[in-house]
């Protein structure tokens, strides 16, 4: 792809504040926010992004009132029902990562079915992070490795191979809507060299065109991965560089 951004991760934040600003209960923001998800999935597909990872519910979000948690569960369920045909038609490979054990059985069945149906698709890798926390994911990976390889030293590749969806790899671009500038326990391993973009737009107002603008503008940034820019020191006179002595 010409923009070079293969894996985009999004912290879909700001639903509650969006609703409260309109004198509506927080859950109204979640309802409106869930409608935006399909547009962004489509936009990612249009842009030729290989993987899109969406933060829908964190391990810490369990501390919210049970009514709000219940609405988020039912919105996930409705999303799966509503989007199934489109995901299948677009050959999207769908997975949910996180601890889904506390979801209602019928939602777990829907997830398992959709994951099974889309497993071998080679289109967009769409991942929903639900009841997900990066610390939990990393601990889980380490413990799985230790159980299989007692006494063996863990390498970076071992850890990466035991993450919840290893094939999506490192994140190239992390977007957070809603104005906060923090990562809130999201993909901590995978974002080591991600480009970060924090937009004040609250998730229910986020659009495919803003998403495309962000991808476009971030693709112009120079990523150095700890190395040097090809132009570094290029215009300096050689003798000056050589005469510097390190004490």
Catalytic residues, by residue number, are 13, 61
DSSP conformational letter for 61: G
User: Quick one: tokens of 28?
Assistant: 């109204």
Q: 31 near 75, Cβ under 8 Å?
A: yes
The answer to whether 56 contacts ligand IPE (rule: CB under 6 A) is yes
Question: 6 or 17: whose CB is closer to ligand IPE?
Answer: 17
Per-residue string for binding with ligand IPE, 13-42, x by CB under 6 A?
xxxxx-------------------------
Q: How far is the CB of 13 from Mg ion (least distance, A)?
A: 4
Within a 13 Å sphere around the CA of 11, how many CA atoms are in the beta-carbon half? 27
Q: How far apart are CA 151 and CA 148, in angstroms?
A: 10
Q: Which stretch binds ligand IPE (CB under 6 A): 39-47, 57-65, 118-126, 138-146?
A: 57-65
Contact 123, 45 (CB under 8 A): yes
Contact between 77 and 106 under an 8 Å Cβ cutoff? The reply is yes
- Binder among 11, 141, 191, 194 for ligand IPE (CB under 6 A): 11
CA–CA separation, 162 vs 172, rounded Å? 20
Asked if residue 182 binds ligand IPE (CB under 6 A), the reply is: yes
Q: How many other β-carbons are positioned within 10 Å of the β-carbon of residue 147?
A: 8
User: Smallest gap, in angstroms, from Cβ of residue 72 to ligand IPE?
Assistant: 6
Q: Which stretch binds ligand IPE (CB under 6 A): 10-18, 142-150, 163-171, 227-235?
A: 10-18
Residue numbers at the binding site for ligand IPE (CB under 6 A): 11-17, 55-58, 60-61, 72, 178, 180, 182, 184
């Amino acid at each position: 792809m010409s923009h070079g951004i293969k894996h985009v991760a999004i912290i879909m934040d700001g639903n509650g504040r969006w609703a409260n600003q309109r004198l509506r209960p927080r859950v109204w923001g979640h309802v409106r926010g869930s409608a935006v998800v399909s547009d962004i999935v489509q936009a990612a597909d249009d842009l030729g992004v290989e993987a899109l990872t969406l933060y829908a519910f964190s391990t810490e979000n369990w501390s919210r009132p049970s009514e709000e948690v219940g609405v988020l569960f039912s919105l996930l369920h409705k999303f799966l029902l509503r989007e199934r045909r489109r995901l299948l038609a677009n050959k999207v490979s769908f997975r949910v990562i996180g601890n889904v054990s506390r979801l209602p059985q019928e939602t777990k069945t829907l997830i398992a079915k959709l994951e099974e149906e889309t497993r071998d698709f080679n289109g967009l890798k769409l991942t929903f992070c639900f009841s997900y926390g990066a610390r939990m994911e990393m601990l889980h990976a380490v413990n799985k490795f230790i159980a299989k390889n007692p006494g063996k030293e863990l390498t970076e590749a071992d850890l990466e191979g035991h993450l919840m969806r290893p094939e999506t790899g490192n994140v190239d671009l992390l977007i957070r809507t809603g104005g906060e500038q923090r990562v809130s326990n999201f993909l901590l391993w995978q974002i080591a060299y991600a480009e970060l973009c924090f937009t004040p737009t609250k998730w229910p107002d986020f659009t495919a065109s803003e998403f495309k603008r962000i991808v476009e503008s971030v693709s112009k940034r120079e990523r150095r991965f700890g190395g040097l820019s090809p132009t570094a020191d290029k215009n300096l006179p050689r003798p000056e560089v050589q005469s510097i002595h390190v004490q």
